[in-house]
Structure 1
């Protein structure tokens, strides 16, 4: 850090000029990078995915895409003839694969008063693959309702996930919303224009990351999801690091140091913490690159870039700006430069004085929060979760259950076979099957046919998923290939979580080594890893409790409970929370160790460490929380679940874990904290 400080101090103007150029290029690259992002959630080599690819290639639609459903009738009278509806659908969605209740009896309710027209439109490359088709089908359905005198309602997973006129999330708008929240928190923390510094660092690092992302999109596929993660998590991480360095610089200038001396001290203390923290975050996110799923890998690439660029900007651009503008921006100086918080000093003293009680109480709360995670079920959101409110589309999808065709019709199993009659006959013997559709026109020139099979229960429920698995087994035993959403989800769970254990071990080992070297301790990194496990368990538990259990989803998001957590979300929450939580652990433990090295006892060092980092950590966590709240405004249910886990996980970690449990355990371990077999014996 000494050499880097010397370089930045000597070339401050060159450093600022370089980052201005990078940020300008990033601003140019950002819209071009987002245009090149992909919308593929594929699993190359896995049977379900490969079957879906062949279905899409052969028939132009279907596979991983759920069908659009036109529900005809309201249960008050028999449904009208299906032919005019099929003709209107074919006109509104040219090339779509269609099945109607006229020639597929399983698409008709038992009482004959509700029928379904099953439609697979040709998808477009977008996070809303049926956007253009739905834009045509909805007015066509309204026209049919007027002509036939009976309701014709467009529903299905895509129709429910994206309301009419919904254009999806806007990364710029969400980032600005998160930035405004961050600006308010920073203004309260600094009470001066120094609050602008972290925002400038965040802007520079985010734009530069977009520049590299643009180049990355030319080398590999990168998922559209990363634009939201890059913008909002990049905002939070960059501000975290900048907040730590600016706080330490202001502390040193308040103690009488010149700006240059303050930069040297801040870089050797806070800067060192930022470096090790950034490396730890990067390692946890880079582990996603090892997952054999392109979509997850692209999240790993971007996740690696976020902390690396944030650290680079915080350790070069920020000290240069502090040297040039720091004194001027300290106005109006409404906050003391003393980093110690009276509130957190009181918390630290209480926790140290009552260490075992505090540790036990905090652990009990975290364990209670973690209990629901044992009931975690991976899958897609249920129909009820997607069908928020009481609109026509929601009412229509609910009518599939009961005496209707079957709730699983929203996500059928798609079977590719050259013996459709044999497959249909055998599949009908499976308990829990809601129906089968095998129109003659769903046959290719090569003789392969698509057979759609759906479960009576929602395919995203535990019972529906079990029936879908049985359907797959029966079909594959007959030599058929099985696709659809249920098959691809099952393959995803097997591929990702079947090999997750060795990725977790790699993350733990590398993180332990990094922290051991940074803190020169064996006990502290072991404790940090243990606390991360508890913190992650609480985050998973409360996410399951809210979304899967349905406690607060309507109040907070105007949504029904999901009934399951989307298959890719737990590993994404783990990667991001593991790294971000370790940020706060490094901030806290580094300051405690610094105080201990300065001659304080373990108890005194712990109180000083909490007093000097408590406000910093909670402010940083609040900024990240606000960023994730902004992320939750994205209309996609999956992103809302991810944002919930990250937002609440960060708050739990910064308060209960780092504010109470971590310092209580440091005080409890006493001299054990400082045992380091490769150095001189530490004093207690």
Structure 2
């Protein structure tokens, strides 16, 4: 592979203008086509064959409702001692509702005073608006008219909020916080290269690759169901790995230039050596992300594939566009001569961290392991769930609507359960009585606040019952209530539960069951992969165990902050709540790929030194000296980019950003830079042991491009002077 990449890098460097124009054309053309196709993201997070999905199937079959009309709920709340039933307040509300009906797109508007949709304390009331068209087809003019209509009640001192099919706070794909993260990454690159100009180049190439992947993802929304969160996740991963991969090749190129190798040859060699590691690392991340398809959850598969696409673009940009950019940069990439001379004078054992790790391996490894184990403790009481409007910022319209309904009708009103009573096996004369008995039995359950009368279908063999729990959607007691209803024991009738709360519970349960399977596949894949790369048995075992430490500590800290509510103000998290249901499985996939990146770049240099010297201590010190600074810079870049997403306005992205930020901190600096080399020092020569029969049976993967270092290639090293 290194020889092929060598040729690609050399061709790209020579034909730099062609490559740059080609990528520019792909970016502009792709985005133009994507925007012209008017992408539509699907927020459906349902999972086939779950109990809630089966209930929805029954409802669609037995309770046909015609077209799916858009629906918006208007909520009115009074302040101080006022009541919505007072003469003046009622008049104001009715006037506002009358204004809403002036829109010809409105089909019906319910009257809360006729329908009885008023809270027991008469402080909150709501009205439901049904439109003639579907939610996606409600025009901006209709939304504007609605806002102008409710402005009348707001101006008269009534808190008025909207929920339902509302164009509220949209998913943020980019914002100020993300820009700050990229700016900090720029600072790291500026320090690394001692040049502001060079620092901007990896960011520009990464953004170009990300732009191409975003365009392709937007096109794919016309064919596949892709959630908007997938685009944000792809952006988070794509920009981070794009900068890191460019950094690895930039650094290698500067090293070769410092050794006196000509510009074109240096670029080709850097693409063949560091580029090989980039391709390997990128494919590892892609495999891990695409592995999400094995869990059989459609929206998770879409997330993994779109994120994998962004990594693929980052890899392609790194081995084609980056060599072209390096060629255009010319002599600006060459390090200062004095710096090169100083580096040549330094030996491998002059590295402070390498000396410290090899001198105190027991203390450092135990400290790192115990620290991560301690941080992992909260993961033992992790609860999975999906974010709802109650977890949004208090200044968002969704949160205000959620709180107002909870204030008037109780916490469980925002998590109502839709129960389908299946009495199809009951004698026709007994169906009505059987369903009524089921309603009374449900009313007797502990956590039930209210139960609506059963609404039968045309045949009378099915009925819909709406149950309002006493507790909120993500409360453990609500989950227990769902299970109690599903466990309802009656040979004549079956109760199916659906609704947003039940759907979220089913998604969480299915993802929870998928975590062990996915983790075993990933860990097994990592062991086989690293055994082939490092030709060792013990190094892969240490690497895999280190990844498990990273994973549990990341989940532990996530639970400590997001679920338990510690330090949420520091990270601008509006409300504690359950851990995002797909956070653990996504974290496993993403952090596995990044962990293998750092493992390969760091330990492959150690193996190269060990093969040359057969000195395990010198190999560790050489790896930490030569690859340690690059891994440190790459880790910092990842941290800054991911940290920018913590302060995003979207709860899903905030939690992902938090987990990824601390996951990289734990893995890059505690596991890869401390625990792994410390344990390798304790193992000595045994770290590189591999049985002869296994050594002959596995392929030889030249990650570092040693084939390019053979004597027959040296005659071309100085063909051209650096320009």
Q: TM-score, normalised by structure 1?
A: 0.84
Shift in Å, 1:117: 2.5
Is the Cα contact below 8 Å between 2:173 and 2:231 reproduced in 1?
Answer: no
Task: Identify the range of structure 1 (113-122 vs 643-652) with the bigger mean alpha-carbon deviation.
Answer: 113-122
1:596 aligns with 2:599: no
Name 1:452's counterpart in structure 2. Answer: 466
* CA distance in structure 1 between the aligned counterparts of 2:376 and 2:625, rounded to whole angstroms: 28
1:504 aligns with 2:509: no
- Secondary structure of the 1:557 match is coil
- Secondary structure of the 2:613 match is coil
Deviation by residue 1:467-519 (Cα, 9 ceiling, x = unmatched) = 23324444998434422112111221333332443333222222222221111
Matches within 5 A, 1:271-286: 271-286=275-290
Which ranges of structure 2 fall in alignment gaps of 5 or more residues?
423-431, 697-723
Deviation by residue 1:84-115 (Cα, 9 ceiling, x = unmatched) = 7588557489457969586558x633xx3434
1:80 aligns with 2:85: yes
Deviation by residue 1:444-488 (Cα, 9 ceiling, x = unmatched) = 778776433221111212123222332444499843442211211
Name 2:126's counterpart in structure 1. Answer: 117
1:569 aligns with 2:583: yes
Aligned residue among 326, 332, 337 for 1:328: 332
1:393/1:180 CA distance change after superposition, 3 Å: closer
Name 2:700's counterpart in structure 1. Answer: none
* CA distance in structure 2 between the aligned counterparts of 1:367 and 1:413, rounded to whole angstroms: 39
1:42 aligns with 2:53: no
1:532 aligns with 2:532: no
Which ranges of structure 1 fall in alignment gaps of 5 or more residues?
none
Name 1:70's counterpart in structure 2. Answer: 75
1:667 aligns with 2:681: yes
Is the Cα contact below 8 Å between 2:384 and 2:579 reproduced in 1?
Answer: yes
1:560 aligns with 2:575: yes
Matches within 5 A, 1:535-546: 535-546=550-561
Aligned residue among 373, 377, 380 for 1:371: 377
Is the Cα contact below 8 Å between 1:155 and 1:397 reproduced in 2?
Answer: no
1:583/1:16 CA distance change after superposition, 3 Å: farther
Aligned residue among 334, 341, 356 for 2:362: 356
Is the Cα contact below 8 Å between 1:61 and 1:121 reproduced in 2?
Answer: no
Shift in Å, 1:436: 3.0
RMSD in angstroms over aligned alpha carbons? 4.0
- Secondary structure of the 2:571 match is helix
Aligned residue among 172, 177, 194 for 1:169: 172
* CA distance in structure 2 between the aligned counterparts of 1:38 and 1:374, rounded to whole angstroms: 33
- Secondary structure of the 1:554 match is coil
Deviation by residue 1:515-572 (Cα, 9 ceiling, x = unmatched) = 21111112112211111110011111111111111112123215121x2112222222
Name 1:514's counterpart in structure 2. Answer: 529
* CA distance in structure 1 between the aligned counterparts of 2:274 and 2:486, rounded to whole angstroms: 56
1:396/1:30 CA distance change after superposition, 3 Å: closer
Name 2:661's counterpart in structure 1. Answer: 647
- Secondary structure of the 1:225 match is helix
Equivalences, count = 664
1:388 aligns with 2:394: yes
1:435/1:345 CA distance change after superposition, 3 Å: farther
Shift in Å, 1:374: 1.1
* CA distance in structure 1 between the aligned counterparts of 2:583 and 2:630, rounded to whole angstroms: 29
Name 1:634's counterpart in structure 2. Answer: 648
- Secondary structure of the 2:498 match is strand
1:188 aligns with 2:191: yes
* CA distance in structure 1 between the aligned counterparts of 2:398 and 2:300, rounded to whole angstroms: 32
* CA distance in structure 1 between the aligned counterparts of 2:247 and 2:274, rounded to whole angstroms: 10
Aligned residue among 212, 223, 227 for 1:223: 227
Task: Identify the range of structure 1 (473-482 vs 197-206) with the bigger mean alpha-carbon deviation.
Answer: 473-482
Matches within 5 A, 1:242-281: 242-281=246-285
Greater gyration radius: 2
Is the Cα contact below 8 Å between 1:348 and 1:606 reproduced in 2?
Answer: yes
* CA distance in structure 2 between the aligned counterparts of 1:130 and 1:542, rounded to whole angstroms: 44
Aligned residue among 574, 578, 587 for 2:592: 578
Is the Cα contact below 8 Å between 1:157 and 1:383 reproduced in 2?
Answer: no
Name 2:28's counterpart in structure 1. Answer: 27
Is the Cα contact below 8 Å between 1:540 and 1:570 reproduced in 2?
Answer: yes
